[in-house]
């Protein structure tokens, strides 16, 4: 795999159980804040990763929680073993190693695998890691959203159980947790063409109300992600339309974290990997879209995570994100 990465030079240094990646070149070493310099896309190349969930925590670093495509793949059923990656400059990324795998889930299916797109949230000194995983052999009808907790953002996670009361378990995937400015947390999941949301209790593991369908979305497929900017709530997601290069990423807006939502348009064209799944986050005054493609493997079940700059128009709408190979000033 690495022989094909002619555009990347990686220095891999084992330090206390973690791997640090340094993109070569003068721009990477200077760590200039203005203009922003991004590392090379994809920014993780030693394993295959997808579905990046990005967050900025209290230590000032940006953390990404993706899923992991196992190589060689048999399909999405083999996806397993969550890793965490972080950066403080958008160029150099640290692999903090594996934090969880299916064998550590007491209620999980005996066959393992099937740990798909996760998310993470922080509240009251605890990090909450949310992950979908089936509880039976009939995997697509037995999904649960598990919860693991830790006092650290990238280690020592222990499975605590799963969220109860979510209803029909069919395609109960792609959890997302958004914590609003007032500390109220909201839980979402999106799969099988439906997007569901509800308030969470302060303990972050129980629903505070009956979950409801998110209204106003156009052609929703999966991969819900909610963020807030200037008082506007944004819900981004993957569509159903079978475009030549796969699904696209769309978004909708609302004045409430649970809608109703107003459809706004496409923010990311298909990446060639078939699926589309990403997250939007602000870091050091700049906004970024994280997503995946298959530019390393050429295969939709061996994906790699990328990041590019995201721009808003004066009216709050989002411009179409340009997919790049990174390593450029923005």
Q: What is the rounded CA–CA span in Å between residue 330 and residue 326?
A: 10
Determine the pLDDT at residue 172: 96
Determine the pLDDT at residue 18: 42
Cis bond upstream, residue 35 (ω within 30): yes
Determine the pLDDT at residue 169: 92
Determine the pLDDT at residue 42: 97
Report, as residue numbers or ranges, the catalytic residues: 51, 222
Determine the pLDDT at residue 133: 97
**Can you list the residues of the chain whose pLDDT is less than 50?**
1-33
Determine the pLDDT at residue 329: 56
pTM summary value = 0.89
């Amino acid at each position: 795999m690495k022989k094909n990465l002619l555009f990347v030079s990686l220095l891999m240094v084992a330090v206390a159980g973690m791997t640090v990646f340094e993109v070569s070149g003068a721009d990477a070493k200077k760590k200039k804040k203005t203009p922003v310099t991004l590392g090379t896309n994809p920014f993780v190349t030693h394993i295959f990763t997808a579905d990046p969930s990005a967050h900025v925590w209290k230590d000032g670093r940006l953390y990404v929680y993706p899923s992991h495509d196992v190589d060689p793949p048999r399909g999405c059923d083999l996806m397993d073993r969550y890793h965490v990656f972080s950066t403080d400059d958008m160029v150099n990324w640290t692999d903090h190693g594996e934090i969880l795998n299916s064998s550590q889930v007491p209620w999980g299916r005996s066959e393992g695998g099937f740990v798909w797109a996760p998310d993470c949230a922080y509240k009251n000194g605890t990090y909450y890691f949310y992950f979908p995983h089936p509880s039976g052999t009939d995997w697509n009808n037995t999904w649960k959203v598990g919860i693991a907790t830790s006092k650290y953002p990238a280690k020592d996670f222990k499975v605590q159980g799963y969220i109860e009361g979510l209803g029909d378990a069919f395609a109960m995937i792609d959890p997302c947790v958004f914590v609003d400015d007032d500390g109220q947390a909201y839980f979402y999941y999106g799969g099988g063409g439906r997007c569901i949301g509800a308030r969470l209790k302060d303990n972050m593991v129980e629903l505070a109300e009956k979950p409801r369908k998110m209204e106003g979305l156009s052609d929703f497929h999966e991969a819900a992600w909610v963020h807030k900017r200037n008082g506007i709530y944004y819900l981004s997601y993957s569509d159903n339309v079978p475009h030549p290069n796969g699904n696209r990423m769309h978004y909708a807006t609302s004045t409430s974290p649970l809608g109703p939502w107003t459809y706004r348009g496409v923010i990311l064209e298909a990446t060639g990997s078939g699926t589309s799944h990403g997250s939007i986050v602000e870091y050091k005054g700049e906004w970024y879209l994280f997503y995946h493609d298959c530019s390393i493997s050429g295969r939709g079940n061996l994906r790699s995570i990328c990041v590019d700059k995201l721009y808003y128009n004066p009216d709050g709408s989002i411009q179409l994100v340009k997919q790049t190979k990174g390593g450029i000033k923005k």
